[in-house]
Chains A and B, each alone.
Chain A
Amino acid sequence: MSIPLTTPRPARPPAPPAGDTESRAWLRDLGSPGPSREDAAARLHALLLKAAGIEVRRRARAHPHLRGDDLDDLALQAADDALMSILARLDTFRGESRFTTWAYKFALLEAAVKVRKRAWQGREIPLDEPDWSRVADPGSRPHEASERRELLDAVREGIAVALTAHQRDVLLALAVNGAPIDVLAERLGTTRGALYKTLHDARARLRAHLAARGLDPRTAEASP
């Protein structure tokens, strides 16, 4: 096989041994075979478990039915899964942040996702529209209340006429009924990123619907 004169560049050049001393040490130890890798993985797991434990307990305050062993189990699962993700993606660490900052985000993501999924286990995700009559700002000045009410009415109309059924369901589940995006993504058999794209597209359609009626959402952002 001949070697082309110009080889395609990789999507991202290999990460240079950049970063602070501690980060380089983590990369060296986790990337080397043998006992030093196992030792580093164990030290990293301990850090991840501590971070996940803090996060699980913090989030559990909003879900009183999650307690004790449940939380320890969720934190351990989160640390285990975060460690697997990190080891599988070591070559994507670019040394542009501390290694521990990069690693912590995996533990926090796993902890958050696991708590949200556990909290919504066995619950249906509502797709209800808001009770529009109760969405009100009693203290607003009359002209601002009137402008916001006009916006809300147009948004309500946009939800009915400008969105696909799927966009409507996703918007109402996530933005109105407070369903976690990863819980909904799992139930719909899709990814969080893909579902957010659906939400983003729905919002763009609503904004376009407002613009076509000469309405500006920034009206709602005006100070009271």
Chain B
Amino acid sequence: MSGRGERAMLTRLLGAAGPDVGCDACFEELDRYVELELAGADADAAFPGMRAHLEGCPACAEEHESLRALVGQRSQEEPR
């Protein structure tokens, strides 16, 4: 993709603009955020600052992706 190198570097260095909940609050709310996402609800509206944090923190982003994948898979195997 054209522009990827510079954009990627700038994103890593500058993070996302706007409010950012930080790692502790992100972990605190991650389960509810993921369930809202999987339910098709507007998780970002429910938890302002989560998206910016996930874009700015690779560790939390990885854990978010992992929880989303695991719960999504489990929900398919064991419907509520």
Residues of A whose CB lies within 8 Å of any CB of B are 20, 51, 54-55, 58, 96-98, 100-102, 104-105, 108-109, 112, 116, 130, 135-140, 144-145, 148-149, 151-152, 155, 159, 171, 175-176, 178, 180-182, 192-193, 196-197, 199-200, 203, 206-207, 210, 217-218, 220-221, 224
B31 within 8 A of A: yes
The answer to whether residues A152 and B59 also contact, given A137-B4, A140-B2 and a CB cut-off of 8 A, is: no
- Bound CA–CA A130/B11 (angstroms): 14
One of B3, B34, B66 near A58 (C-beta < 8 A): B66
The answer to whether residues A112 and B62 also contact, given A207-B14, A224-B1 and a CB cut-off of 8 A, is: yes
B14–A203 CB distance below 8 A = yes
Residues of B whose CB lies within 8 Å of any CB of A are 1-7, 9-15, 17, 20, 22-24, 27, 30-32, 34-35, 56-59, 62-63, 66-67, 70-71, 74, 80
B14–A51 CB distance below 8 A = no
Summarize B's interface: helix, strand, loop or mixed. Answer: helix
- Bound CA–CA A217/B55 (angstroms): 15
**Closest CB of chain A to B78's CB: distance in Å?**
9
Closest partner residue, chain B, to A155 (CB atom): B13
- Bound CA–CA A88/B61 (angstroms): 25
**Closest CB of chain A to B47's CB: distance in Å?**
12
**Closest CB of chain A to B44's CB: distance in Å?**
17
